[in-house]
Chain A
């Protein structure tokens, strides 16, 4: 292996980073993220001998466009690592092995940390702010500000870690933040949920609070029922049917 991958010029790095935001632009059931990965890594491949359209460039593009899956925010880890691998002349076999091996971890770490952790935490923070009387602008900015702090940082960290470590990037996914982070984030979500749900419910109900206790009791009963059914029914669909029945009853009675 040749360890002399060039430092990426700022323009190339910026182009890859911007393309990462559209990495799911052509997500489909055949290749999943495959096309998006090739799209994102392409600016780096222009640095290969022969430049854009050269033999090395075309061979690398061909390798990068195959099936690939990852959490979109963690795709930068793979894109950075693959860019370094191509620019440092790794063998096609090693690159292919890496692509196959990193799909699972990049998906599961992202799902636990972002979809099941950071997103609910930011949502609940915004719901709590609403419940405590924050203005619409403050609620929206609080949600978007906090969420995207984590979102953009993760994308930038992933690209940097991937290009720094190349095909040896796996240990970066085992850092304490990524290993223990999901558990801490889940506890924060639990704490915030306890605070946010009652105050948000009260704020929706408004000044007439006669029925607050009954609504909270009904919501708690429904939540326990849904938790016990454990994914066998989707609550939002059940709620949709219930609302449809209520509307129909109110029209025909």
Chain B
């Protein structure tokens, strides 16, 4: 019971950030670099939250929310990832890999839940079709409010269920597994770096001159590695 009560603040945060992803206000507080940091902060580990947030942000660069396409829901998922990593002891080898995987899996299910949510709104719109077609203000506002409210509930459920599953599962996996800290961290970072760099390249390579800017940036970034 105490464990469930501990999840309430994280669930509320996940609900708000899930809402931000599409419905309101799309201020990008649902981006991983913000959401995971807040998730980590709620368990008293803001720095560890940011670390997972940076990794997930690199993955999220690949899945920009274009139009009606299906994409992962990073808001709730990043709260889960940031909080899970924050809950593990500093010396826990493999925690970064397990927390990142939990966030990616939650983001995948979150994307599916967004599609179901949109279908649910379409169903409600169908029920209100006559009133909406007649321009009924009550029906239009009612549909809007139902959409917003159900999205909060969706985000809360996503976060709560994911934490309910992954908090104990992470503990079991980290206790039973034989992880090598360096391998786990390097695998996660290399994968995130590859996805982030590939995503940026896909977006910018058709712009005239952009590849040269990228190379120029790499020279500057490489220099910074040596001088800082």
B144 touches A35 (CB 8 A): yes
- Chain A residues whose C-beta falls within 8 Å of the C-beta of B179 in the assembled complex: 250
CB contacts (< 8 Å) of B211 on chain A: these are: 190
Write the nearest CB–CB distance from B216 to chain A, whole angstroms: 6
Knowing that A204-B55, A219-B197, A247-B97 are A-B contacts, what are 10 other residue pairs whose CB atoms are under 8 Å apart, sorted by A's residue number? A22-B23, A24-B23, A61-B136, A65-B140, A140-B50, A186-B207, A194-B213, A222-B197, A226-B194, A247-B173
Q: How far is the CB of A136 from chain B (nearest CB, A)?
A: 4
Partner of B195, one of A139, A194, A204, A236: A236
A253 at the interface (CB under 8 A from B): yes
Q: A151-B26, A197-B193, A201-B189 are in contact. Are A223 and B228 (CB under 8 A)?
A: no
For B208, list chain A residues within 8 Å (CB).
Answer: 183
By a CB distance below 8 angstroms, the chain A residues around B6 are none
| Residues of chain A with a CB closer than 8 A to B12's CB | none
Interface residue A59 (Cβ < 8 Å from any Cβ of B): yes
Q: Which residues of B contact A148 (CB under 8 A)?
A: 27-28
A194 near B215 (CB under 8 angstroms)? yes
- Measured between beta carbons, the chain B residues less than 8 angstroms from A28 are 118-119, 121-122, 125, 147
A36 touches B126 (CB 8 A): no
Interface residues on A, range: 35 or more
Looking across the interface, which residue of chain B has its beta carbon closest to that of A202? B225
Any chain B CB within 8 A of the CB of A193? yes
Answer whether A199 and B214 are a contact pair too, CB < 8 Å, given A204-B55, A239-B195: no
CA distance A36 to B173 in the complex (A): 45
Judged by a CB distance under 8 angstroms, whether A172 is at the interface is no
Instruction: Flag if A235 contacts B199 (CB, 8 Å).
Output: yes
Smallest CB-CB A-B distances: 4 pairs: A194-B217, A222-B194, A219-B193, A226-B198
The distance from the CB of B56 to the nearest CB of chain A, in whole angstroms, is 9
B213 and A65 contacting across the interface, CB-CB below 8 Å: no
The contact sample of 21 A-B pairs, CB cut-off 8 A, is A21-B24, A22-B144, A25-B145, A28-B147, A29-B122, A38-B135, A61-B137, A61-B140, A65-B133, A116-B64, A119-B28, A123-B31, A140-B50, A143-B31, A187-B210, A189-B210, A190-B207, A197-B196, A222-B195, A223-B193, A250-B179
Bound together, the chains give a CA A65 to CA B208 distance in angstroms of 40
Of the candidates A42, A144, A193, A222, which one forms a contact with B214 in the assembled complex, judged by CB atoms under 8 Å apart?
A193
The 8 Å CB contact of B178, one of A38, A151, A242, A250, is: A250
Decide yes or no whether A39 CB sits under 8 A from chain B: yes
Is A244 touching B101 in the complex (CB atoms < 8 A)?
A: yes
Cβ–Cβ < 8 Å partners of B59 in chain A: 235-236, 239
Knowing A61-B137, A126-B57, A143-B33, say if A246 contacts B197 (CB, 8 Å): no
The answer for the CA separation of A193 and B228 in the assembled complex, in Å, is 18
**How near does chain A come to B24, taking the closest CB pair, in angstroms?**
4
In the complex, whether A93 has a CB less than 8 A from a CB of chain B is no
B25: A residues at CB distance < 8 A: 21-22
Is A27's CB within 8 Å of the partner chain B?
A: yes
A221 and B121 contact, Cβ closer than 8 Å, known pairs A52-B137, A136-B37, A194-B215: no
| A63 cross-chain contacts in B, Cβ below 8 A | 135
Residue B168 lies at the interface, judged by CB distance under 8 Å to chain A: no
Q: Is the CB of B204 within 8 A of A190?
A: yes
Stretch of A4-12, A162-170, A209-217 that contacts chain B: A209-217
Kindly provide the distance from the CB of A78 to the nearest chain B CB, expressed in whole angstroms: 15
Residue A32 is within 8 A (CB to CB) of chain B in the complex: yes
Are B194 and A247 within 8 A (Cβ)? Answer: no
Nearest Cβ on chain B to A248's Cβ, whole angstroms: 9
Contact A22 B24, beta carbon cutoff 8 Å: yes
Contact in complex: A127, B57 (CB < 8 Å): yes
Within residues 104 to 120 of chain B, which ones have a CB less than 8 A from any CB in chain A? Answer: 104-105, 107-108, 118-119
Contact indicator A231/B97 (Cβ below 8 Å): no
Are B220 and A195 interface neighbours, CB within 8 A?
yes
* Known contacts A231-B202, A235-B199; is-contact A240 B50 (Cβ 8 Å): no
Contact status A183-B207, CB under 8 Å: yes
Q: Is there a chain B Cβ closer than 8 Å to A192's Cβ?
A: yes
Q: A42–B140 Cα gap in the complex (Å)?
A: 10
B195 nearest CB neighbor, chain A only: A235
Report yes or no: A205 in contact with B185, Cβ–Cβ below 8 A.
yes
A188 to B41 alpha-carbon distance, docked (Å): 31
